[in-house]
Structure 1
Amino acid sequence: MPLTDALTPDALLEAKAARPDRRARDLATSLGVSEGALVAAAVGRGATRLAPHPNDLMPAVATLGEVMALTRNDSAVHERIGQYQEYHPGDHATMVLGPEIDLRMFPKHWAHAFAVVEEGESGVKRSLQVFDAAGDAVHKVHLKPASDVAAFERLVAALATGDESRDFAAEPRTPPEGAKLREDKMDLLRKEWDRMTDTHQFLRLVSKLKMNRLGAYRGAGAPYAEPLAPEAVSAMLEGAAAEGIEIMLFVGNAGCIQIHAGQIETIKPMGPWQNVLDPRFNLHLRADQVAEVWRVWKPTQRGPAISVEAFDAEGRLILQCFGKRKEAEPLAWNAMVEALPRAVEAPA
């Protein structure tokens, strides 16, 4: 449903009150507005506009103690309990490098931020919610019972902008790019791919060649990238849990990437959702929206890095997963990935 300005802030709050069981993102979609518009409607009624740049927010979030960090895209939700530690500021990119909460943030997409205080089933809920210019959620911080409420109140007082507007002028969403490849550059791509010494060099390489991640995977061929069956993602999660393999699982959007490092234990499919439901880490994946999966090989100074990467039907990256590196090569992870089901047909 296209976004519309037909609903006033009061009408949005009435619709939210009438459907307290609906998740904000789903309710906003059903109403034809952005989730950011739904939150903005509550400004002065439990929501407060904050300075959105992570250089302002993240040091203050670190004072809250134990919280839950949430980053999502259309097909996956990544939730991690822990403390925000070791913030690295920047203009183009910033990082949180804690042992539990591990983030890569891109400030140009942090357009709006709100502190939200609302009644929930088990009492008052407090959160910090960041949205991009289109009103789509970039990152959220949910306070837990052990969080420091006084620190939250100090954060709001320090970072409140004073803007009492309840309207949200959502900009158009950037359309999905789809796969971009250059047939005339494939030999050069493979040659430069072989020369990589770090996985972070990959996006610079494909950008230089006027391609993107998915286009490079489709064009490079084995051993660089091999297509797996869509069900390989669930098989990967189940295999990692069954074998006790430590993984690094990335879920993100244009403004934030959130990383879980460690084991996963409890896998529970529920309808179209595949879920990891561990005490301090949850993943919620719409398995039915996984259209392409790739096994990807990249050389590094510490040996090959093997990843499993899932994309939706429009070519958007849903998640990436690597074996967690220790001193030795992650042999158990590599062997498990080799056994995952291959695609019946390679994507066009």
Structure 2
Amino acid sequence: MNKPLSAAEIRAAKSANTDKRDRDLAAALGISEAELIAAHIGGTDGMKVTRIAYHPDEVMPRLTSLGEVMSLTRNASCVHERVGTFEEYKSGQHASMVLGKEIDTRIFPKHWAFGFAIENETAKGLRRTLQFFDQAGDALQKIFLRETSNHEAWKPLVEVLTLEDQSPELAVEERQPTEGAKINADKREILIDEWQKMTDTHQFNRLAAKLGMNRLGAYRLAGAPFVRRIDPAAVETFLNVTSEAGQKVVLFVGNRGNIQIHWGTLDNIKPMGPWLNVLDPRFNLHLRGDHLAEVYVVEKPTKRGPAISLEAFDAEGGLIFQCFGQRKSEADDLAQWHGILADLPELVQ
């Protein structure tokens, strides 16, 4: 077994690889991103790191003081960046949420384990971020201050959140593997029967769990008329057509501890290498097209009519994103959205 890297060795590696993102450098070093950041506590290399409270109940209500920020949530295949102000926070034992015109998240507090306030000298000036991680040291949410943020609120915010423990060493747990598709083939008739009776999309996860399945397993088993498998290459077409139509969407990207939601259009589509990007003034999406292993158009009955989504999974069965149509008005029957999805080509197997 290799000897664990010391904080000094991690800082040296960071100084020697300033062109690498923290996530990529940590992976190259065989450590978590949270361990990479913690190693800079007490360092003198232009990066000031402070351990802070991490539970959403302590953090989220205080973020409003920062004004306009950029909130980033990601998984291994997709990065979701939204500019806005943290507004109303609603705490919950199992799930909490931030509700606002632009920052809209669903939070699962049991996975929040580490928090850091970071001040970093860069070529573009001082960068301030708050970053939160799970027990394995994987990022759940990062909050970046902008020129338009209230920088005067930074110091008092960090002071009130600072923890007594300021050790540069971090004890992380082994990363939990992604749960692959769980299928209970004997329960297909029950699945379809109960699916038809749904009145709200939130009922789906409970239904799948009750039958010993998960989301991907249920999609694979159900098939038509509720599920249609799409060619992953069509996701780029989907982005372009949605942009050209000016179709508003509700786009969910998340990880085990946080889901971030974009409401609105997808205007500026820019593919770059393996990445499919949306580069809009207040919303950016960075999607690894080469990670799209299974893509489905999914229909779920609701009281307001069918909720039809595009949902993508990686090769391990992890959910990359979900995208629904957003009504432009109460009278909008989402016919345009349904047409966009209906035109996507099915996967030829």
- Name the TM-score, length of structure 2 as normaliser: 0.96
Match of 1:70 in 2: 72
Residues 1:9 and 2:7 are matched in the alignment: yes
Comparing 14-23 with 308-317, greater Cα deviation is found at: 14-23
Residue equivalent to 1:224: 226
The equivalent residue for 2:42 is 44
User: Residues 231-264 of structure 1, C-alpha deviation per residue, up to 9 Å, x if partnerless?
Assistant: 1221111111011000011100000000000011
Q: Tell me, in whole angstroms, the C-alpha distance in 2 between the residues paired with 1:90 and 1:121.
A: 41
Q: For 1:339, which of 324, 338, 343 is the aligned residue?
A: 343
C-alpha separation in 2, matches of 1:87 and 1:231 = 38
Counterpart residue identity of residue 119, structure 1: E
Q: Look up the match of 1:212.
A: 214
Distance 2:8 2:51 in 1: 17
Tell whether the 8 Å contact from 1:231 to 1:341 is kept in structure 2 after alignment. no
Partners of 1:5 and 1:78 in 2: CA distance:
35
Q: Tell me the equivalent position of 1:313.
A: 315
Q: For residues 160 and 121 of structure 1, what CA distance do their matches in structure 2 show?
A: 27
- The AA in structure 1 aligned to 2:335 is L
Cα shift at 1:63: 1.0
1:61 maps to what in 2? 63
How far is 1:5 from its partner?
A: 5.8
CA contact (8 A) 1:248 1:259 kept: yes
Tell me, in whole angstroms, the C-alpha distance in 2 between the residues paired with 1:212 and 1:202: 9
Counterpart mapping for 1:1-348 below 5 A? 6-45=4-43, 46-325=48-327, 326-327=329-330, 328-345=332-349
For residue 172 of structure 1, give the secondary structure of its aligned residue in structure 2: coil
For residue 23 of structure 2, what is the amino acid of its counterpart?
A: R
Aligned equivalents of 1:142, 1:197: Cα separation in 2: 38
TM-score w.r.t. the length of structure 1 is 0.97
Whichever residue aligns with residue 281 of structure 2, its letter is P
Are the aligned partners of 1:244 and 1:263 in contact in 2 as well (CA < 8 Å)? yes
Cα deviation, residue 44, structure 1: 2.7
Superposed CA offset, 1:200-253 (max 9, x none) = 111011011110000000000111111000112211111110110000111000
Matches of 1:301 and 1:188, distance apart in 2: 21
CA distance in 1, matches of 2:264, 2:95: 24
Percent sequence identity is 54
Task: Check conservation: 1:10, 1:41, Cα contact below 8 A.
Answer: yes
Q: What one-letter code is carried by the residue in structure 2 that aligns with 1:129? A: Q
Tell me which stretches of 4 or more aligned residues in structure 1 moved more than 4 Å: none
2:149 aligns to what SS in structure 1?
coil
Distance 1:116 1:152 in 2: 11
For structure 1, the residue ranges without an aligned partner over 5 or more in a row are none
Amino acid across the alignment from 2:177: P
CA contact (8 A) 1:129 1:139 kept: yes
Measure the CA separation in 1 of the matches of 2:239 and 2:104. 20
- SS at 1:66 equivalent: strand
The CA deviation string for residues 57-95 of structure 1, in whole angstroms up to 9 with x for no partner, is 101111100000000000000000000111111221111
Tell me the distance in 2 between the aligned counterparts of 1:79 and 1:10. Answer: 32
> Per-residue deviation at 1:155?
1.1
Distance in 2 separating the partners of 1:35 and 1:236: 33
What RMSD in Å do the two structures reach over aligned CA positions?
1.1
SS at match of 1:144: strand
Q: Is the 8 A contact 1:5 1:33 kept in 2?
A: no
8 Å contact kept, 1:49–1:161: yes
- Give the Cα separation in 2 of the matches to 1:85 and 1:282: 20
- Structure 2 gaps of 5+ residues are none
62-71 or 167-176, which deviates more: 167-176
How many angstroms apart in 2 are the aligned matches of 1:171 and 1:338? 43
Counterpart residue identity of residue 168, structure 2: R
Following the alignment from structure 2 to structure 1, what is the Cα–Cα distance between the partners of residues 167 and 160?
19
Q: In 2, are the aligned partners of 1:232 and 1:293 still within 8 Å (CA)?
A: no
Counterpart contact for 1:272–1:286, Cα < 8 Å: yes
Does the 8 Å CA contact 1:250/1:320 hold for their aligned counterparts? yes
